[in-house]
Amino acid sequence: MSPKIDIQVGDLRTVEVEAICCPVFEDVELQSSTQLVDQATGGQISRLLELGDHKGKLKQNTVLYVAEGLKAPRICLVGLGKMEKLSLESIRQATAKSMTTLRDLGVKSAACWLPDGVTTEQVQALVVGTKLALYQFKQHQTSSDDEQSESKSLEELLLLVPDKNSKVSVERSVRIAEAIADGTILARDLTNQPANYLTPTDLAETASRVAQAEGNGCLDCQIYNRPELIEKGFNALLGVAQGSQEEPKLIQLSYRPDNAAESTDTVVLVGKGITFDSGGLSLKSGSGMMSMKDDMAGAATVLGTMQVIGKIRPNLNVIGLIAATENMPSGTAQRPGDVVKSYGGKTIEILNTDAEGRLVLADALGYAKTFNPKAVVDLATLTGAVVTALGRCVAGIMGTDQELIDQLKAAGQTSHERLWQLPLFDDYDDALKSDIADVKNIGDGTAGAIAGAAFLKHFAQGCPWAHIDIAGASEYLKGNAYLPKGASGYGVRLLTQFIRDLDAKTI
């Protein structure tokens, strides 16, 4: 559960919470606020540091129990590592670790002191680290082995600031960070949801709920159902959908700023929304299918990002497009060898029905171009090959516009949702040549992640485009400080940062 975050002018010594957090660095003296706490408790903190029981190492936590001198009964020493190495990511990690420590102790309220000079980005890192660390997906667990752990949740985080002026600016930063974290949490929830609870229809309903709830009128949601998809020629999407009982949906969320001018730039974000990927007639193995409820992570990221956009309202048109369907085998399923005509008119020979993501994206990218966008960015759990190449800590990026790729990579550094570029040389195009159609949907078995992008390039041609393969980054198998095991919600923070950077450029 996400804690309520309040900002107050105050003092750590007198604040009435169950725990106060004090930062400790490896290489510098105690912060003045911590020194005051130390004095009030008769030097408990300095004694502990002298004994070497806490070294200030990144993510090191020590909880002290206080008999007198403070209103709060606990102090949590939060290791931030070396001050010279302090980064937004170390703040996220350290806060995340200490908040879960306190949560697991059963602490319900905590306070942190924000010193003068703390930057907007640092405040946001603290809030994002807190909210994402405390995320849990427990909707389907009716009872817990450990009944107590069920009720453990940090309900309130109090951020203490020195004066009224800083309160105003911190408040603004906190609300933006909360929006970003909530967008990521929405993406995690949708991705974690099993396929029998989240169909393309459910995705469409969520999108229209987001538009109504968050947009304050600036977000518009349009859903294209099967009849319109047939009429408009979204045949590649329809082909993937034809083996399933579930209705396919093309979901469009459009954000326009209040004072949008003719010349306002448009960015289109496209998400792969396969709510379950069995492989179709090119059926996956049992173990290969096990995590395939996650195959709509790109769609979840686009939805989560559009929710954030509706709240922070950049001065830029942003369109979110989601191509949603199941990929199932049945008597009506698409066959290997079939040929379909995509939205833009190009024909595709389908040689493997498990390479379905690129088919639904082919239609969505073709449609994206009709908005005459400044940039198109697609996110997709497209290939197992990208997981082999890069693992799970980074996503692969490829595209036709180096400036756009560089902007995304920069946003990836800031948000720590990192990107690694793979080449998209023309040399890779040959492997996709079909004998009977314009292009085939698989390559020669080498460079799988690039072959996927090389296929998409055919459909994105004509506007600046980048493709982000999140097959690895969308899921966390081990869990770290603020990425618990399961869906990571990767991309919401990245895309929001990218849009905010573009917005800053237009002002």
167 in active site: no
Check binding of 472 to Zn ion (CB under 5 A). Answer: no
Smallest distance, ligand BES to C-beta of residue 479, A: 18
User: Which 293-312 residues touch Zn ion, going by CB under 5 A?
Assistant: 295
Count of residues interacting with ligand BES (CB under 6 A): 16
Is 475 near Zn ion (CB under 5 A)?
Answer: no
Q: Does 334 sit near ligand BES (CB under 6 A)?
A: no
HEC string for 193-233: CCCCCCCHHHHHHHHHHHHHHHCCCCEEEEEECHHHHHHHC
Query: Residue 428, Cβ neighbours under 10 Å: how many?
Result: 21
Q: Is 49 helix (H, G, I), strand (E, B) or coil?
A: helix
> Is 384 among the residues that bind ligand BES (CB under 6 A)?
yes
Considering only 72, 468, 471, 495, the residue that binds ligand BES (CB under 6 A) is 471
What stretches of 338-396 show up as alpha helix (H) in DSSP? 357-368, 384-390
Give whichever of 23 and 448 is closer to ligand BES, judged by the CB atom: 448
Query: Within positions 168 to 187, which residues make up the interface with ligand BES, using CB under 6 A?
Result: none
User: Is-contact 491 187, C-beta < 8 A?
Assistant: yes
Nearer to Zn ion, 368 or 471 (CB): 471
Report 262-291 residues binding Zn ion (CB under 5 A): 274, 277
| Using rule CB under 6 A, residue 381 touches ligand BES | yes
Q: What are phi and psi of 332, to 5 degrees?
A: -100, 5
Separation between Cα atoms, residue 457 and residue 459, nearest integer Å: 5
357 vs 489 by CB, closer to ligand BES: 357
Buried-state track 134-170, b at ≥16 Cβ within 10 A, e below 16: bbebeeeeeeeeeeeeeebebeebbbbbbeeebbeeb
- Out of 56, 357, 366, 448, name the contact with Zn ion by CB under 5 A: 357
Query: Distance (Å, rounded) from C-alpha 257 to C-alpha 503?
Result: 11
Specify the residue, 289 or 410, whose C-beta has the smaller distance to ligand BES: 289
- Binding flag, residue 275, ligand BES (CB under 6 A): no
For residue 122, which of 87, 165, 81 has the smallest C-alpha distance?
87
CA dist 481 and 490 (Å) reads 15
* Nearest residue (CB) to Zn ion, 58 versus 240: 240
Q: Can you tell me which of 38, 189, 349, 354 binds ligand BES, judged by CB under 6 A? A: 354
Of the candidate residues 38, 89, 214, 295, the single one contacting ligand BES (CB under 6 A): 295
Which one of the listed residues 284, 341, 346, 409 is annotated catalytic? 284
Nearer Cβ to ligand BES (95/191): 191
Catalytic one among 358, 392, 418, 500? 358
**Tokens (6 digits) for 155:** 């309900």
Is 284 designated active site?
Answer: yes
Amino acid at position 485, single letter: K
Q: Which of 228-243 are b and which e, b meaning 16 or more Cβ less than 10 Å from the residue's Cβ?
A: ebeeebbbbbbbbbbb
Q: Which of 38, 189, 277, 363 binds ligand BES (CB under 6 A)?
A: 277
What is the closest distance, in whole angstroms, from the C-beta atom of residue 380 to Zn ion in the complex? 8
Which residue's CB is nearer to ligand BES, number 30 or number 360? 360
The interface partner of residue 352, options being ligand BES, Zn ion, none and the CB cut-off 5 to 8 Å by kind, is ligand BES
Output helix, strand, coil percentages for the chain, rounded to the nearest 5: 40, 20, 40
- Assigned token pair, 95: 């806060």
349 binding ligand BES? (CB under 6 A): no
- The stretch among 77-85, 183-191, 193-201, 376-384 that binds ligand BES (CB under 6 A) is 376-384
What is the spatial distance between Cα 156 and Cα 55, in angstroms, rounded to a whole number?
A: 28
Which residues contribute to the site for Zn ion (CB under 5 A)? Answer: 274, 277, 295, 354, 356-357
Q: Which residues bind ligand BES (CB under 6 A)?
A: 277, 295, 352, 354-357, 381-385, 387, 442, 448, 471
* Residues annotated catalytic, as ranges: 284, 358
